[in-house]
Amino acid sequence: MSSSLTRTEVCHLLGVSPKSLYLWERDGHIPAPHRDRRNWRVYSPKDVDAIRRFLGMERGEGKTPRIKTERAEGLSARNQLKGTVVSLRKSGLICEVVMRLAGGQEITSIITEASADRLGLKKGREATAVIKATEVMILG
């Protein structure tokens, strides 16, 4: 890793959105990075390590953090959440898939049983939830 990374590079490396970085910084979960002459955020290796610790990721070998960064290309959905399948409940044609994300949150999706089989989903396997929503409702 070079001496510094842009926000876009950090987002690609860690599989997070720029908005998430901004909110975590604002809320004090991660340190504020330095800014360059254009006032753009610039992340040092130490900043990236702090973000990885916050996300519960382990440091790779050597100086370069190494994590899986494949993204579903060609999709307009930006929200791609990596996690681990913690349960599969098949019932006829449908399958309920529960994934645990890095922060411990869980996300549930209902897909066809054929899709679960085609994707090779199994308990303990890593997977990515791709979210494209036109509405988000919050109840208080």
Residue 89 lies in a domain: yes
For residue 125, pLDDT over 80 is answered with: yes
Provide the CATH number for the domain around residue 96: 2.40.50.100
Which range of residues forms the domain containing residue 124? 79-131
Quick one: average pLDDT of 92-106? 89
32 in a domain, yes or no? yes
Q: What is the pTM of this model?
A: 0.47
Tens digit of pLDDT for each residue in 42-90? 999 999 988 888 888 766 422 333 434 455 566 666 678 889 999 999 9
Domain shared by 88 and 124, yes or no: yes
Residue 21 lies in a domain: yes
Q: pLDDT > 90: what percent of the chain?
A: 36
In a domain, 136, yes or no: no
CA distance 54 to 48: 10
Q: Give domain status of residue 49, yes or no.
A: yes
Q: How many domains does the chain have?
A: 2
Domain assignment present for 63: no
pLDDT digits (tens, 9 = 90+) for 34-47: 999 999 899 999 99
For residue 125, being part of any structural domain is answered with yes
Tell me how far CA of residue 64 lies from CA of 8, 13, 49, 109, 124, in angstroms: 17, 11, 10, 34, 26
